[in-house]
Amino acid sequence: MLPRSHWRHRARRAVPLLVPLLVFPLLPILLCACATPYRPPLLPDTPPAVFPGLIDLAAQAGGREADVLLVHGICTHDAGWLDQVLPQLTRALRDASTPAPAHAAGMDGMAPAVQIVPATIATPAGRLRFDALIWSPLTSALKRQLCYDQSAKSSLCAGTPPYPYTRARLNARFKDGLIDDCLPDALIYAGAARETMQLRMREAVLQVLSGMRPEAPLVVISHSMGSKILFDTLLRMSDEPAGSPAAALARQALRRMRLLMMAANQIPLLSLAEQQLAAPEAPVRAAAPPPDSLQALLRLRHAARQGAADGNRLTLVAFTDPNDLLSYPLPPERYAAEGVTVYNILVSNAPTYLGLLERPDTAHLDYLGNPDVGRLIACGQPVSKLCDGAHP
């Protein structure tokens, strides 16, 4: 009689042969059993979402340019990021002329710097000037310490020794990307490098804001942790001595801001790193958390605009895919205030298979590549008449 170990060995060898036989007949069913529950997006209806798009801000610029500031989120990005997102953001703008972005500009010196990538597009309603802030180079050197763990080497890790062990395909994809490349950005910013990162971002923001017209409308489109870095930096600039160029430009930018489009919001998560543990004698029900950087900025904007007669409101739109493991809606009661309207919009960035899984990397990274998000940013809600006849 053959030993039990022999039959276990035979069974293990048979499993890979059986998997295709079982899966292939089910493949059409699996492919059909997918859904995108928030395509089209789910917009709030109490009150109904009403906000302008980029095309409307271009029309309000008085024949000049409306300014759009873009900031990417976690994971490695380079100057080509604007090449990827700009066509999607402008696709719905009828007859828009979208030239290739200019070469990235950085600060002088050998230290890693935030790169600035500008681009200007013409629309029938007016011009839009984009400035993308690429802060990813700040964390690249530290993240390379994890290259030995990547199964499929990214461009950041090209040339490093191969990973010698076997990983399941999906585990390898998510470990290489979300864990080895993306999560470290948040850990680095929460640690000893935070001060330096803010100072480098300050240099870039100061350079960009210095080239803008003080009366031009401003749109900010930020993704993931990029929102947090930008807000922290603007607060830091605002706290500099009164009359300093940095403080004046930061406060001016807050007054000019008409639209704040946030995708993959991590403010509720990242702000936990700035809070103390409750005292042992504190009641079980904790007090309200201290203001996060977004709340502080909105309060600063409100104070700066008291007595202003321009009537310009700020609309804050938060795009969230509920299957995005790293994203959180923004509680309107924390951020809505006089002169500020908050809308949470639910979107689907990729299909959900069998109601079980949407790819975590796609769910978090593809907001600005989502045509629904691009249309809402470009044309507003309801769709601007200036976008009539645009591509869907």
Pairing of strands 115-123, 257-263: unpaired
β-pair type (115-123, 126-134): antiparallel
Q: Is the pTM of this model over 0.85?
A: yes
pLDDT of 146-156, one tens digit each?
999 999 999 99
Q: What is the mean pLDDT of residues 279-297?
A: 81
State the pLDDT confidence band at 392, using cuts at 50, 70 and 90.
very low
Mean pLDDT computed over every residue of the chain: 88
Q: How many CB atoms lie within 10 A of CB 154?
A: 16
Q: What is the mean pLDDT of residues 96-122?
A: 76
pLDDT of residue 352: 94
Residue 126, strand partner residues: 123
- Binned at pLDDT 50, 70 and 90, residue 37 comes out as very high
**295: how many CB neighbours lie within 10 A of its CB?**
17
Give the pLDDT score at 129: 95
Query: CA-to-CA distance for 121 and 93, rounded, in angstroms?
Result: 10
Where residue 244 falls among pLDDT bands split at 50, 70, 90?
A: very high
Which tokens go with 300?
């600063």
Can you give the pLDDT at residue 391?
Answer: 45
**pLDDT computed for residue 19 by the predictor:** 45
For 298-337, write each residue's pLDDT tens digit.
999 988 777 565 667 899 999 999 999 999 999 999 998 8
The arithmetic mean of pLDDT across residues 361-371, rounded, is 95
Going by pLDDT thresholds of 50, 70 and 90, the confidence category of residue 354 is confident
pLDDT category of residue 91 using cuts at 50, 70 and 90 = confident
Q: Which tokens hold the place of 234?
A: 């603007």
Strands 314-320 and 340-346: parallel
pLDDT band at 22 (very low <50, low <70, confident <90, very high): very low
Residues 122-133 have a mean pLDDT of 93
**In a 3-state reduction of DSSP, which class is residue 260?**
strand
> Which pLDDT value is given to residue 382?
95
Give buried/exposed letters for 136-151 (b at 16+ CB in 10 A, else e): bbbbeeebeebbeebb
Residue 334 CB contacts under 8 Å (≥ 6 apart), including other chains:
295
Which of 61 and 143 is assigned the larger pLDDT? Answer: 143
**Whole-number pLDDT of residue 26:** 46
pLDDT at 28 over 50: no
Q: Is residue 100's pLDDT more than 80?
A: no
Task: Kindly state the tokens that stand for 302.
Answer: 């409100």
pLDDT greater than 60 at residue 196: yes
- Res. 4: pLDDT tops 80: no
pLDDT band per the 50, 70, 90 thresholds, residue 177: very high
202 with 233: CB under 8 angstroms?
A: yes
pLDDT over 70 percentage in the chain: 83
H/E/C letters for each residue in 198-252?
HHHHHHHHHHHHHCCCCCCCEEEEEECHHHHHHHHHHHHHHCCCCCCHHHHHHHH
Q: Which of these, 317, 221, 299, 318, lies nearest to 254 by C-alpha position? A: 299
Under the banding of pLDDT at 50, 70 and 90, the label for residue 166 is very high
The three-state secondary structure class of 105 is strand
Confidence check: pLDDT of 12 > 80: no
Rounded Cα distance, 253 and 108, in Å: 24
Q: What is the pLDDT of residue 62?
A: 84
pLDDT grade for 189, boundaries at 50, 70 and 90 = very high
Q: Is the pLDDT score of 5 beyond 80?
A: no
CA 353 to chain centre: 24
Helices (H), the chain: 4-32, 54-59, 81-90, 137-143, 169-174, 183-190, 194-210, 225-238, 245-256, 267-270, 293-305, 332-335, 360-365, 371-379
Please state which of the ranges 22-31, 36-45, 119-128, 299-308 shows the lowest mean pLDDT. 22-31
pLDDT score at 284: 62
